[in-house]
Amino acid sequence: MINVVLVEPEIPPNTGNIARLCLAAGARLHLVEPLGFRIDDRALKRAGMDYWHQCEVHRWKSFAELKTANPHGRFFFLTTKSQRIYWSINYQDEDFLVFGRETRGLPESLLAEYAGTCLTIPMRPEARSLNLATAVGVVLYEAVRQLANISK
C-alpha cells in the first residue's frame, strides 16, 4: 500500500478529491497539520467526504511526528524544484509520497533536508505547477502501475 502525505493542505475540495484517489488506488492518506479547513467542512464533503469513512486517513500534528512513527519508511517529496522525474523511481510497497500546500508547496526546510529524495513532474516552463489533486493522481498511479496492486 502506498502512502500519500499532504503537508498542511489548504483547499478542502483538493483533499476530498485526493481521498477519493487514495480509496480508488488502495492508498493511505496522511494529513499533516495545520489543515486549512475542518474535516467536516461542507466543501470537503462535496469533493468526496461521502467516501471519507471508507478511506484510511491518519492525522499528524507535524511531519516530524509522522516520520518518527515510520522510521524505516521511504519518503519522496514532490516539488517543482527538482530535476529528478517521478517515474525514475522504483516504487516499493509502503513508500510515502509527500506533497505540499497548494499555494506554496513543501517547506524549504523539508526540501533541503530531503534533497536526495525530491522528485518532480515534468511540465512546460510556462506552467507554474499542477493542481494538487492532479499531481497526486499522476504520481500515485505511477506507483500503482509499478506495483500492480489494485485488487478488484
- Domains in the chain with CATH codes: 3-147 (3.40.1280.10)
Nearest to 81 by CA among 129, 141, 135: 129
Where would I find the beta strands (DSSP E) of the chain?
A: 3-7, 28-32, 57-60, 75-78, 96-99, 118-119
State the average pLDDT over residues 108-122: 96
Q: What is the pLDDT of residue 52?
A: 72
Predicted structure pTM score? 0.91
Q: What is the pLDDT of residue 43?
A: 55
Question: 76-104, pLDDT tens digit by residue?
Answer: 999 999 999 999 999 999 999 999 999 89
